[in-house]
Chain A
Amino acid sequence: MGTRLLEGLVWWAALLAAYIFLVSPLTWDEWVLGAVLSAVVSAAAIVATEGFRPPAPPRLRWWHLVRLPVDLVRDTGVLARGLVARRRHVGRSGTVTLPEGDSRGVRAYADLLLSSTPGSYVFDVRPGEGRPGSVRVHRIGGRAGVERVVED
């Protein structure tokens, strides 16, 4: 409820700002008209978009973001060593099982997080269809810290 109210206020302010930008200078009755219609339209838009919302990602834990820069530095080092040594085949593929059920939000979140470091990328996403879903990753080092937090 609070989120929807905040979303409505943001839309109201944006619509009113656009109206002022396009129509100014405004008379006082145009100010009132603009404010009222912006409120009505923002409310209508929020109600109409119910059911169209993209899937919510799993709750972001703060330590996800702490592990990310550590993995970035570590994986960059591993990748650099592989390139300097001119090794042609570096790394191996593996499977990361996702913690929750068949949720597109969870899969998208895991895909984004696991592909954000140079050490791993997601090359296949498997919906769970009732069971926990999984993603197939290729990694050049050991299991990244972000893999462990995704599996939490």
Chain B
Amino acid sequence: MVAAVALVLVAVVVPLCLVEVFHGDPLSRLVALEALAVAATLELLLMSRTAGRSPYVDVALVLAVLTFAGSLVFARFWGREL
């Protein structure tokens, strides 16, 4: 029950991030994309719990690692642009 409520609460963040990704300035887009990845990771973990499907934990783990690597790549590009 708690996981289901958390699933809905975190899901509210996703469309807000998407709006910023599609309409914000470049830096806001990047921040929104990172926030979206964090929300998606939490969603996947909660979905795994509520649906009883353990493979979603693997997806969350892969996403978390790729988000970290992606942030470093973006930071590298920003370093060149600024």
Which residues of A are interface residues toward B (Cβ below 8 A)? 18-19, 22-24, 40-41, 44-45, 47-48, 50-52, 54
B22 engages A23 (CB within 8 Å): no
Chain B residue at minimum C-beta to C-beta distance from A53: B77
Tally of A-B Cβ pairs under 8 angstroms: 39
* Chain A residues positioned under 8 Å from B64 (CB to CB): none
Residue of B nearest to A23 (CB): B55
* Residue B42 interfacial (CB < 8 Å): no
A18 to chain B, nearest CB (A): 7
Residues of the A chain whose Cβ atoms lie less than 8 Å from the Cβ of B30: 48, 52
Chain A contacts for B36, CB-based, 8 A: 44
**The one of B21, B26, B55, B81 that contacts A22, using a Cβ cutoff of 8 Å:** B55
30 cross-chain CB contacts under 8 A? A18-B62, A19-B59, A22-B58, A22-B59, A23-B53, A23-B58, A23-B59, A24-B55, A40-B18, A41-B40, A44-B18, A44-B22, A44-B33, A45-B33, A47-B21, A47-B22, A47-B29, A48-B21, A48-B32, A48-B33, A50-B26, A51-B26, A51-B81, A52-B26, A52-B30, A52-B74, A52-B77, A52-B78, A52-B81, A54-B77
What is the chain A residue whose CB lies nearest that of B21? A44
Give B residues with C-beta under 8 Å from A. Answer: 18, 21-22, 26, 29-30, 32-33, 36, 40, 53, 55-56, 58-59, 62, 74, 77-78, 81
